[in-house]
Structure 1
Amino acid sequence: MLTRLDPEMSEEAARASAPHAVVIGAGLGGLASAMRLGARGYRVSVMDRLDSPGGRGSSLMRDGYRFDLGPTIVTVPQIFRELWAACGRDFDADVDLRALDPFYEIRWPDGSTFTARQDGDAMRAEVARLSPGDLKGYDAFVRDSEARYWFGFEDLGRRSMHRLVDLIKVLPKFAWLRADRSVYAHAARRVKDERLRMALSFHPLFIGGDPFNVTSMYTLVSHLEKEFGVHYAMGGVDAIARAMGRVVEDQGGMILQGAEVDEILLKEGRARGVRLSSGEIVTADIVVSNADAGHTYDHLLRNHKKRRWTPARLRRARWSMGLFVWYFGTKGTAEMWRDAGHHTILNGPRYKGLVRDIFRTGKLSEDMSLYVHRPSVTDPTVAPEGDDTFYALSPVPHLGHANPVDWQAEAEPYRQKVQKVLEEQLLPGLGDHLTASDVFTPETFRDRYLSPHGTGFSIEPRILQSAWFRPHNVSEEAQGLYLVGAGTHPGAGLPGVISSAEVLDKLVPDAETVRGR
């Protein structure tokens, strides 16, 4: 059944003749696109198969505990402020963003730790404490990451890369910055301590990339953290998604939940609307897909011949890893585990070997590394008073390997292994305090988000799957069809998907031009 977040459409009469844009998916990229299109004078309808907006940035309630299902941190907050400003709104009036200090703590099996903060002197002190001989190399790494930020994010990441000539023009800069070198290889050239190499190279895992193969351009994330900090939105990223939805509706747009798009309809090579799984047809002047790029081309355009993104090409693509996420609440623990902060990264005994198992062999390893989120130390609304809310995320193989993991059989045994690691390394006595609990596996991502192979972040951001090589924001398969979100340019992560809507804004024709067709 179709449900609208708000049945009232502001300025409905004035917008009745405006060109109609259908946005497939109310993920953050889709909502950002709807906001920008609404500000441009389009009449916008967002179609989403879930029961609430936000996509992977939505939340789940269990027995009084609220779990952020996907992203937990906000970097580069100005991209949200710029988005709101483009709509004549004030982001900070709608969302309460809190700076985190420290960002996170990294722990290794030998008991050593590394605490990441925004303050440069504090970071240099951490490096000196862990490996004094690497301080000079660390300083060089920081300079490297800034150079890659200005080129990779502020330049390439905020404009379309759909023309081959755009790629050709930047090849000399790619070569100069050694984009062919992996993030890990670049970190290894600057520092010698293996723990520091991990601390400076693991960030691509936040966007689904193998640090040993993803282009060194992604060292720019270190600069993002240093320059702009790491933030948490009170109410979680779900609060941002809901605020975005309110802006869309205030503009006169509609968000239809429970509306699954089954096909993009073309007429004479141009996108002219969508067919819902219910059979209902919704006509449109333009279509924007926030669905996974693979799903868009392989399923939503299944009845149309593709020139570039054919089924064979998608099968050859390298995809990001899958995710095993255990969401759990604990009773009466607010004053316990004082050394477990908002974010903790627990490393297993292997780094390169574990990453190889996840991305290359498709093997579910006995050992694991965990990203642990404890928002209740910052946000008391996520759990009943005196309690805690957590999620523990373990990168695992996606479902597209030759012998995919049978998560129907493995989910509970693996959850128990996760619990054992947490009890041994971070949360002693956890089992005595457990309350609400839920698990997402790659099968959940496949079924809930229609993610190919159950991946967490769509197509992996390797150098030959980035920029021009990635599915373009303006489709070459149909006129009037645009793509946003993790699977298109510039890529996954909150800055990437919000920036994809900014790129879209530069590609879509003015409403008056479309009206005149």
Structure 2
Amino acid sequence: MKTVVIGGGFGGLACALRATAKGHEVTLIEKKTELGGRAQVFERNGFIFDAGPTVVTAPFLFDELFSLFGKNRQDYITFIPLSPWYQFYFSDDKTRFNYGGTIENTLDEIEKISPDDVSGYLKLIEHSRKIYKVGFEQLADQPFHRLMTMLAQVPHLIKLRADRSVWKMVSRYLKNDKLRQAFSIQPLLVGGNPFSTTSIYGLIHYLERQYGISFAKGGTGAIVESLRQLMLDVGITIKTETTMVSANISGKCISSITLNDGETLSADNFIYNGDPLFLYQQLLPQSRQKMSIRLKTEKSQRSMGLYVLFFGTKAQYPNVEHHTIWLGKRYEELLKEIFAEKDMPDDFSLYLHRPTATDASFAPKGCDSFYVLAPVPNLRANINWQTEEPKLRKKIIDALDKTLLPNLKQTITSVFSMTPEDFKADYLSEDGAGFSISPKFTQSAWFRFHNRSEVYNNLFLVGAGTHPGAGMPGVLSSAKVVERLLPDSQTDLP
């Protein structure tokens, strides 16, 4: 049985491996010159920059891919545990809060800020554990393409108060506003607003507590390379600089796809690892699409956009942790402006990545490598990025120069950036959204784009825009969903 995987992000790589383990003959095509999708790697003047995800929170999901073929992940890639996981920096009063490591470390840090919230944090973790047991262990790798599957989970969702937002869940247990902010930012890592994202995503707290946070030696690009090598070892065909431009339909199935070089590629199954909005709006015939697909493509709320600023420094900043969350003076109001999809806010909050804190190979000797990520409105907002990018770049550099990175203006080098326009062009992301559609309750599980296409029986979807959602654990889990739905190698298609 032949299977074609369209897109070489983490979801596509995992699907290619899982389909091969089921006995399929697999070909993977990737638009760019290198695999990885959003996990690109840039090199500038001796500096290395991971452009995509930088946090490993569920290493067992990678271990599974290697164990499918009797191999050990440790023979291909090394994961380095971090402590702390993040440092939160509150720009209003320069408070620092180190999160992660042992639970005792976290409780000590909480006590410095708000002793009254120590017991509340323990209760938050216990509630997160209950969500994790259902939301991740039971449902993350289960198909939700049937409405009855969703309805069967209603009692669990009611009991866990899935209708409540992550912010409301956290605020139930914590009183201090700074701690509420720190422990509610997780939805932003998967494209959601903490004030509207379903509290099911509160399971991330327990996931982090259970497995910690790690960094791959060599960076995220090294993970991609390890999976590429595994794919070659098990006989998967890889074609880069190759992309799908249209599909050829036969009844309720796709018989073949036409590629950018004019070649036609036939298969029994097709797996799409990309933005479902782009798939259904740009690649598949509109006339055959069901009302449910039209509603999702037309009415769904996209995630926010991302502005990513890359730079090296000719000096080192040893007091800056590997992962820093730089929180601005506004929180809820800023997020409202970003997700309203209208205009560029005047201020920002930032995620600062310093891989050289863990792996010196990312920069020349005596230097540091950084990237800064700022949530911004997606392209539905009326923003001219040609004029706004230089302004935003200057404001971010000025802010870091005055706070975490003194004398940055004198040491900065090799500067470049990505805007939502780049996400649209490079990743075929509709409206330049950073994570496809937003993870609201009404855009989760059955309401999300289905892992088995609602239109074509042999088309499967993997990645951020389908169940269970964005982030490396979500995307890798979506590959497990597709594996459950794929026919066995000796089975006829439905």
Q: Shared fold (TM-score greater than 0.5)?
A: yes
Tell me what 1:476 maps to: 454
Match status 1:157 vs 2:157: no
Match status 1:195 vs 2:178: yes
CA contact under 8 A between 1:58 and 1:241: conserved in structure 2?
no
What's the CA shift for 1:164?
0.8
SS in 1 for 2:170: helix
SS in 2 for 1:263: strand
Q: Which amino acid aligns with 1:460?
A: S
**CA deviation digits over 1:131-153, x for unaligned, max 9?**
11122221111111111111111
**CA deviation digits over 1:75-130, x for unaligned, max 9?**
01111111211132211110111000111100112121211113111111111111
CA contact under 8 A between 1:325 and 1:441: conserved in structure 2?
yes
> Residue 259 of structure 1 is aligned with which of 242, 247, 265?
242
What's the CA shift for 1:247?
1.5
CA contact under 8 A between 2:293 and 2:454: conserved in structure 1?
no
After superposition, residues 458-497 of structure 1 pair within 5 angstroms as: 458-497=436-475
Tell me what 1:81 maps to: 63
After superposition, residues 285-304 of structure 1 pair within 5 angstroms as: 285-304=268-287
Supply the RMSD in Å over aligned alpha carbons.
1.3
Tell me what 2:353 maps to: 373
What's the CA shift for 1:412?
1.1
Pick which of 206-215 and 308-317 moved more.
Answer: 308-317
Q: In 2, distance between residues paired with 1:409 and 1:70? A: 25
CA contact under 8 A between 2:420 and 2:432: conserved in structure 1?
yes
What's the CA shift for 1:395?
0.2
Q: In 1, distance between residues paired with 2:341 and 2:191? A: 16
SS in 1 for 2:379: coil
> Residue 104 of structure 2 is aligned with which of 121, 132, 152?
121
After superposition, residues 117-196 of structure 1 pair within 5 angstroms as: 117-196=100-179
Tell me what 1:16 maps to: none
Match status 1:390 vs 2:373: no
Pick which of 301-310 and 219-228 moved more.
Answer: 301-310
CA contact under 8 A between 1:22 and 1:47: conserved in structure 2?
yes
SS in 2 for 1:156: coil
Match status 1:324 vs 2:324: no
**CA deviation digits over 1:258-303, x for unaligned, max 9?**
0021123221110222111222111111000001111111112135
SS in 2 for 1:456: coil
Tell me what 1:46 maps to: 28
**CA deviation digits over 1:293-322, x for unaligned, max 9?**
111111121355211454453121011000
> Residue 230 of structure 1 is aligned with which of 183, 202, 213?
213
What's the CA shift for 1:196?
0.8
Q: Which amino acid aligns with 1:29?
A: G
CA contact under 8 A between 2:258 and 2:264: conserved in structure 1?
yes
> Residue 437 of structure 1 is aligned with which of 396, 415, 429?
415
Pick which of 243-252 and 47-56 moved more.
Answer: 243-252
CA contact under 8 A between 1:306 and 1:477: conserved in structure 2?
yes
Tell me what 1:32 maps to: 14
Tell me what 1:10 maps to: none
Q: In 1, distance between residues paired with 2:250 and 2:47? A: 47
Pick which of 452-461 and 360-369 moved more.
Answer: 360-369
| Structure 1 runs of 4+ with >3 Å offset | 308-313
> Residue 420 of structure 1 is aligned with which of 394, 398, 404?
398
Matched positions, count: 493
Q: Which amino acid aligns with 2:169?
A: H
Q: In 2, distance between residues paired with 1:466 and 1:105? A: 30
Q: Which amino acid aligns with 1:349?
A: K
Alignment CA distance shift 1:361-1:274 (3 Å) = closer
Pick which of 128-137 and 101-110 moved more.
Answer: 128-137
CA contact under 8 A between 1:297 and 1:309: conserved in structure 2?
no
**CA deviation digits over 1:420-460, x for unaligned, max 9?**
11111110111111221210000000000000110110110
Q: Which amino acid aligns with 1:364?
A: M
Overall identity of the aligned pairs, in %: 39
Tell me what 1:12 maps to: none
What's the CA shift for 1:396?
0.2
Task: Report the TM-score, using the length of structure 2 for normalisation.
Answer: 0.98
CA contact under 8 A between 2:308 and 2:374: conserved in structure 1?
yes
SS in 1 for 2:183: helix
Q: In 2, distance between residues paired with 1:485 and 1:313? A: 16
CA contact under 8 A between 2:351 and 2:373: conserved in structure 1?
yes
CA contact under 8 A between 1:272 and 1:287: conserved in structure 2?
no
Tell me what 2:384 maps to: 406
What are structure 1's unaligned runs of at least 5 residues?
1-18
CA contact under 8 A between 2:341 and 2:378: conserved in structure 1?
no
Tell me what 1:7 maps to: none
What's the CA shift for 1:58?
2.1
Q: In 2, distance between residues paired with 1:503 and 1:85? A: 18
CA contact under 8 A between 1:484 and 1:501: conserved in structure 2?
yes
Q: Which amino acid aligns with 1:463?
A: F
SS in 2 for 1:60: strand
Tell me what 1:6 maps to: none
Q: In 2, distance between residues paired with 1:452 and 1:446? A: 6
Q: In 2, distance between residues paired with 1:153 and 1:38? A: 25
Q: In 2, distance between residues paired with 1:196 and 1:73? A: 21
SS in 2 for 1:57: coil
SS in 2 for 1:157: coil
Q: In 2, distance between residues paired with 1:29 and 1:42? A: 17
Q: Which amino acid aligns with 1:328?
A: F
Q: In 2, distance between residues paired with 1:58 and 1:240? A: 11
Tell me what 2:195 maps to: 212
Match status 1:248 vs 2:231: yes
CA contact under 8 A between 1:106 and 1:347: conserved in structure 2?
yes
Tell me what 1:100 maps to: 82
> Residue 55 of structure 1 is aligned with which of 11, 34, 37?
37
Q: In 2, distance between residues paired with 1:225 and 1:46? A: 32
Q: Which amino acid aligns with 1:351?
A: Y
Q: Which amino acid aligns with 1:389?
A: S
**CA deviation digits over 1:330-354, x for unaligned, max 9?**
11x23xx222110111111000000
Q: Which amino acid aligns with 1:199?
A: A
Tell me what 1:15 maps to: none
Q: In 2, distance between residues paired with 1:187 and 1:487? A: 25
Q: Which amino acid aligns with 1:391?
A: Y
CA contact under 8 A between 1:45 and 1:256: conserved in structure 2?
yes
Q: In 2, distance between residues paired with 1:481 and 1:437? A: 41
Q: In 2, distance between residues paired with 1:60 and 1:361? A: 29
Q: Which amino acid aligns with 2:64?
A: E
> Residue 254 of structure 2 is aligned with which of 247, 267, 271?
271
